[in-house]
Chain A
Amino acid sequence: MKIAIDDNILIKDEICTAGSKMLYNFKSPYSATVVDKIKAAGMEIVCQSKIGEFGGETARDETKTAAYAVSNGLADTALGIDVDGAAYRSAIKNNVIYIKPTYGTVSRFGVVANVSSVDQIGVYARNFDDGFKVLEVIAGYDKNDGTTYPTEKYEYNADLVDIKSLKSIDSPDFKLNDYLASVYCIISAAEFSGNIARFDGLKFGYRTENFKSYDDIVINSRSESFTTGTKIKSLMGTYVLSEEQFEKYYLKATKIRRLIKQELDEIFKQYDVIILLPCYKAVTLANLTGCPAIIVNGKLIIAKEFDENKLFALGKSLLRGGI
Chain B
Amino acid sequence: MVNLKILESLSKINLTDDEKNKASEFFEFWTEKFDMLENIDTENIEPLVTVSPLVNVMREDISNKMVSREKLLENAPEQNDGYFVVPRILE
Contacts and interface: CB of A to CB of B under 8 A. Distances in A.
A34 interface: no
B86 interface: yes
A254 B37 CA distance: 11
Interface residues of B, number: 51
Interface string A149-167: 1100000000000000000
A252 B42 contact: yes
A147 B75 contact: no
Nearest to B66: A30
Interface string B6-48: 0110111111001100110011001001101110101001111
Interface residues of A, number: 70
A28 B19 CA distance: 31
Interface in B53-87: 53-57, 59, 66-67, 71-72, 74-78, 84, 86-87
Nearest to A255: B42
A219 B10 CA distance: 10
Contact of B7 (A213, A222, A239): A239
Given A148-B52, A205-B75, A236-B27, A179 B87 contact: no
Contact of A219 (B12, B47, B74, B77): B12
Interface in A105-155: 117, 143, 146-150
Contact of B72 (A29, A200, A202, A240): A29
A253 B37 contact: yes
Contacts of A21: none
Contacts of B55: 146, 150
Interface of B: 2, 4, 7-8, 10-15, 18-19, 22-23, 26-27, 30, 33-34, 36-38, 40, 42, 45-57, 59, 66-67, 71-72, 74-78, 84, 86-87, 89
Q: List 10 tightest A-B contacts by C-beta distance, closest first.
A: A290-B51, A254-B47, A204-B75, A207-B77, A258-B48, A104-B52, A255-B42, A147-B52, A223-B14, A257-B48
17 contacts: A29-B71, A29-B75, A30-B67, A104-B51, A117-B51, A143-B57, A146-B57, A147-B54, A150-B55, A185-B30, A186-B34, A205-B75, A231-B11, A231-B19, A239-B2, A252-B38, A255-B45
